[in-house]
Structure 1
Amino acid sequence: MTNEKTKIAMEADLILENLTHTLLYEGYSLYPYYRSAVKNQKPIPFGVIFPKDYNAYHEHSHSKMQSQSIITGDNDLTVSVTVRFLHLRKTELFQKANNEKDNEDYIPVSNLDINGKFYNSGWQTVERKITTGDIGLTQLAKGGISIPIEFDNMNEGELILNEKNVVVAKSVSSISEITGSILISAESIIESTDSFRITVVVTNTTGLENANTISRDEAIMQSFLSTHIILQTLQGEFISQQDTPVKWTTATAGCTNINTWPIVIDKSNTTLLSSPIILYDHPEINPQSSGDLFDSTEIEEALLLHVNLLTEEDRNRIGTEDEKMNAMLKKVNGLTPEDLHQYHSMLKENKASQFNNE
């Protein structure tokens, strides 16, 4: 790989990581950030892939995502595919029925304050990432390949002690097993040599008991949340489906994308991101952004001011609910008045001729 291509690849990777991280957590937790707030009691609503068993009884709860795009290059054209999503982790909180007796009776509660530390029932998420190596497009055109998605269940508990080191409560965290597949295939574009229509289908095949009667919240425990598909190549480029050159309009018109929206990330069109959130090609994160606030469609200045108005008790409570929220609060706490002022107003040079007084 040439130095120029290496530089391009590194720049694309940085843009991709920042952008994908932001999209993965869009809507993860919204102001006032408490898990008890109604709008924060449901997991992320974007890019949910439900189990096929659940989809059989709920047709609008989709069990697959399909990204289809055009890639062109030379005889050595390869592509790597990455699928990223969030997996729900549920935490249940139980208070001991009688703290003065050595018994095993516990009562479910939504939250507790023990020695000034807050404990909450609710949900958090675990990031999942599956990446293929480089796959030759000629190979894919001869027959698709299937990559398994397999993550085991997990259950772990924690005893909660008071200031006298007596057990007063316990929390139980659980992750449900999920399985699925990533089917990758390609077909040659007849109108052009060394060009292909590549298809990536992500399906949730998790077995689900009583799929006809369980609630949506129960099904989400075994769903892929905020699912994103990433394709990268070094030898070729992806054809934009928003600003398509005339030569490729017929080919791109034949692409079918299901529950996702493909965009090219870098100026060289070597990276394609399929997201459940609609974006334009070549998106950028505002360099002024202070970091995760989990609501990129909101005015960041307003959110920062709202967070700064939270009481110390509020901050402690929110920070103990989730490590991601705690990291966000630390970033906001570190902002200076000068940092906040730059959000309020900014002068930019406008080079448009109609605004010049000549």
Structure 2
Amino acid sequence: MTTAVDTRFATARQVADAVLFEGYVLYPYRASAAKNRLRWQFGVLVPPAWGHGSAEHSFQRTEVLLEPRRGAALLVELRFLHTQRRTVQRALPGGEFETVQSLELPDRVLVPWDEGVEERVELRLDVADLCDQGARLPFRRPVHEEAETVHDASGRPVGRLLRRRERIDGVLRLTAAELPGPYRALRLTAVVENGSDWTPPGEADADREAALPRSLVSAHLMLGLTAGSFLSMTDPPEWARSAVAQCRNEHTWPVLAGDNGAADVVLSSPIILEDHPHIAPESPGTLYDATEIDEILALRTAALTDREKREARGTDDRAAAVVDLADSLPPEVLERLHGAVRALREATGPEAPPPPPPDFGGAAPGVRPDTPWWDPAADRSVDPATDRVLVDGTPVGAGSRVLLRPGLRRTDAQDLFLHGRSALVEAVLHDVDGGVHLAVTVDGDPGAELRREQGRFLYFQPDEVALLEEA
């Protein structure tokens, strides 16, 4: 069973790993950093007794539609982190130890820290059995304690690390029901619950730190079908839209995550993703911080002082790996990270390969051979300064004066404040999807000249303006 699950989930697991460890330890990767004081922000399933008085929850609910073939089996893998509390102790004469806030070593500074131990709950069952009686799988992770002796450079014991994991209880519930209608489709419901009977000591609003060791952290599900397919919850076929709208997904969201665009695997995570998410091919490794781009994060980490790097290495093994990665990145890897372009696509869908750079050495019409392929100036077929677009049957371009009428279907509050204002068209722009946009400066805007110098305009579509007069 494990081999089958691992093979089918291989591609989805790359993204699932990013979900599992998102925010695990943030730059500058030190326990003392303010950003690392509040951790485990996604998918934390807390004990019910504590969850009732907090903003976090004790369960996740996933509902998806599937079209199984005869004899299909459902593969389920629940993954989460089990918080492991680490205490630092210094060795004393006579074999005794005392708890300390830090332990200085030549290569690292050890400090108290909550580590995350990956846990999995795996299950395989026939889809037909789900429709008949469903499935309930309780699971438990017992209390675990261990001690690790810390040695100095000469091999002499100078302290120890005490690690403790509290008991975790949970349950995974699965049911399936056939949808009415001519299509043989099922609605699958998967619920993950924290079943801990732990109650906060003293006041009901006990510190979150006390609940975390009994919580399922970064909990998410991977679901796989051996025969058949799941339906997209974001772009379902027309016949299934009503059924999809009735699905209840609470504290999680399911997306298609099969290999090469297949629909036989679903990843249901506490972070909202699009169908078929994937890791950028140029990413050099796990940095645990999706709010930064890899290039900036790698450069910042490499620039930490030796003292800061020692603290990071002593904070967590994963933080130490990030520091080592940043220190060892060759220039060609950083060059690959710099200016990576992923948005230009000739075809749609996750399997569409990026187009090769155009061959500017030949006689390609409309292309300037001395300009990089990605530069808009490389294409003579468009020119923001001279292009025109029809507005109510009249050509409009740079120099035209228009009345702004932002459309409610694709605008924001800032645009609505400009409704009825007059503006000057500065350029006509074409995007890679074939859309046309008017770059404008608003009459009376004291920063108009600065916008022109920087090329930072306000943008409206042709049906959001009315022609006033030609300049």
Same fold by TM (over 0.5)? yes
Q: How far is the alpha carbon of 1:350 from its aligned partner?
A: 5.2
Q: How does 1:118-157 map to 2 (within 5 A)?
A: 118-133=109-124, 135-157=125-147
Which of 85, 89, 97 is residue 90 of structure 1 equivalent to? 85
Q: Deviations over 1:198-256 (max 9, x none)?
A: 01100001121436253111001100000111110131111111011111011111110
Which residue of structure 2 lines up, in the alignment, with residue 34 of structure 1?
30
- Equivalent position to 2:230, from 234, 238, 254: 238
Which aligned pairs between 1:70-85 and structure 2 lie closer than 5 A? 70-85=65-80
Match of 1:218 among 210, 217, 220: 210
Matches within 5 A, 1:155-194: 155-160=145-150, 169-194=159-184
* From 75, 86, 103, the counterpart of 1:112: 103
The change in CA–CA distance for 1:78 and 1:215 in structure 2 (over 3 A counts) is same
Residues 189-200 of structure 1 aligned to structure 2 (within 5 Å): 189-200=179-190
C-alpha displacement of 1:88: 0.4
Of residues 307, 314, 322, the one that matches 1:313 is 307
Partners of 1:125 and 1:350 lie apart in 2 by 38
Q: 1:140 to 1:29 in 2, by over 3 A?
A: same
8 Å Cα contact 2:108/2:313 also seen in 1: no
Structure 1 vs Structure 2 CA RMSD: 2.8
Match of 1:295 in 2: 289
1:337 aligned partner: 331
Task: Determine which of 239, 242, 245 is the counterpart of 1:253.
Answer: 245
CA change 1:140–1:348 in 2 (3 A) is closer
Correspondence for 1:276? 270
Per the alignment, residue 358 of structure 2 pairs with none
**What is the CA distance between 1:348 and its match in structure 2?**
7.9
Residue type of the alignment partner of 2:65? I
Please, which of 36, 42, 50 is the counterpart of residue 54 of structure 1?
50
Decide which moves more: 23-32 or 208-217: 208-217
* 2:255 counterpart residue number: 263
Query: Residue type of the partner of 1:152?
Result: P
Distance 1:156 1:24 in 2: 24
Alpha carbons of structure 1 residues 104 and 67: separation in structure 2 relative to 1, 3 Å: same
Confirm or deny: 8 A CA contact 2:29 2:315 kept in the other structure.
no
Q: Give the partner amino acid of 2:42.
A: F
Contact 2:50–2:199 at 8 Å: present in 1 too? no
Q: CA deviation at 1:285?
A: 0.9
* Alpha-carbon displacement from aligned partner over 1:31-75 (angstroms, at most 9, x marks no partner): 11101112112331100000122224x153211001110001322
Give the match for residue 202 of structure 1. Answer: 192
TM-score (norm 1): 0.87
Distance change (3 Å), C-alpha of 1:351 and 1:270: closer
For 1:16 and 1:221, the matched residues in 2 are separated by 27
Assess, with a 3 A threshold, how the Cα gap between structure 1 residues 34 and 238 changes in structure 2: closer, same or farther: same
Moved more, 258-267 or 336-345: 336-345
In the aligned structure 2, how far is the partner of 1:294 from the partner of 1:69? 29
- Deviation readout 1:110-161 (Å, 9 max, x if unpaired): 212045542111111000011112x222211111111122111112224546
**In the TM superposition, what whole-angstrom CA distance separates every residue of 1:171-210 from its partner, at most 9, and x where no partner exists?**
3211001011000111111114532100110000112143
Specify the code of the residue in structure 2 equivalent to 1:176.
E
Partner of 1:63: 58
Aligned with 2:9: secondary structure?
Answer: helix
What's the counterpart of residue 389 of structure 2? Answer: none
Aligned-pair CA distance for 1:286:
0.6
Residue 92 of structure 1 aligns to a residue in which SS? strand
Q: Structure 2 unaligned runs (5+)?
A: 1-5, 347-365, 367-375, 382-471
Q: Percent identity?
A: 27
The range that moved more, 87-96 or 14-23, is 87-96
Q: Is the 8 A contact 1:43 1:123 kept in 2?
A: no
Letter in 2 for 1:24: L
The worse-fitting range, judged by mean Cα deviation, of 231-240 and 169-178 is 169-178
Change (3 A) 1:104 1:148: same
| Higher mean C-alpha displacement, 274-283 vs 193-202 | 193-202
Is there any run of 5+ residues in structure 1 with no aligned partner, and where? 1-8
Change in CA separation of 1:259 and 1:160 when aligned onto 2, cut-off 3 Å: same
Which amino acid is the alignment partner of residue 79 of structure 1?
L
Please give the alpha-carbon distance, in whole angstroms, between the structure 2 residues aligned to 1:19 and 1:342.
21
One-letter amino acid of the counterpart of residue 295, structure 1: D
Measure how far apart 1:344 and its partner are: 2.0
Match of 1:327 in 2: 321
Q: Helix, strand or coil: the match of 2:214?
A: coil
**Whole-Å Cα distance in 1 between the matches of residues 345 and 21 of structure 2?**
36
Query: What is the aligned partner in structure 1 of residue 434 from structure 2?
Result: none
SS state of the match for residue 244, structure 2?
A: helix
Q: What is the rounded CA distance, in whole Å, between the counterparts of 2:328 and 2:282 in structure 1? A: 15
**How much does 1:311 deviate?**
2.6
Alpha-carbon contact 1:74-1:194 (below 8 Å) kept: no
